[in-house]
Amino acid sequence: MTRALLIVDVQNDFTEGGALAVAGGDAVASAVTSYLATHAADYDVIVASRDWHDPDNDNGGHFADEPDFVDTWPAHCVAGTAGAEYDELLATDAVTHHVRKGQGKPAYSMFEGVADDGANMAAVLSARSVLSADVVGLATDHCVRATVLDAIAHGVHVRVLTDLVAGVGEESSSAALAEMAHAGAALIESAQAADGPDA
């Protein structure tokens, strides 16, 4: 079974000190790097996504001066800024595809973005016959959730590595994990990931 690792939005603006910091974001970045050091060879495809918002508009109403933190947000991950770059604790040398999303519009799922060659996620995974994906990154209750649900909708068997994600809120993250599990995702820790796609 062809496997992918999907690394969602481990960016400076989503980790400590960023515009929309997630508590534990740096720890996730470091833990994903450690995981890749020993498990990168387990994957045929490794995709990392970044929010990459336009600097000169509100990105389809995504940015707001008085955000509600549900549908509108403070400016974050603006293209070309330090906040949009990967967290420095995340090693990206094993990444095979870099995806940018939210260019002028709201976007949460990695599947709403495009790779450097212009291909969307569905095309990237289909071209490599990916049937199974492990998902890690930020934030559990927003972009991880959206990515997992879209992957399942595209017929991919998904495992969420629960020790390699962090969310904005404890209750909303628990609810998101429950929703992902209900949709068919397996919730496991990274130590179990080497046991195979059906662990």
Domains in the chain, please, with CATH?
Answer: 40-115 (3.40.50.850)
Sequential pLDDT tens for the chain (199 residues) = 799 999 999 999 999 999 999 999 999 999 999 999 999 999 999 999 999 999 999 999 999 999 999 899 999 999 999 999 999 999 999 999 999 999 999 999 999 999 999 999 999 999 999 999 999 999 999 999 999 999 999 999 999 999 999 999 999 999 999 999 999 999 999 999 876 544 4
Q: Please, what sign has the CA dihedral across residues 138, 95, 103, 132?
A: negative
Q: In this structure, how many other beta carbons lie within 10 angstroms of the beta carbon of residue 179?
A: 14
Please work out, in degrees rounded to the nearest 5, the angle formed at the alpha carbon of residue 138 by the alpha carbons of 61 and 3: 115
Q: Catalytic site residues?
A: 9, 101, 143
**What is the value of pTM for the model shown?**
0.95
One-letter amino acid for residue 69 of the chain: F
CA atoms in the 13 A half-sphere facing the CB of 131: 6
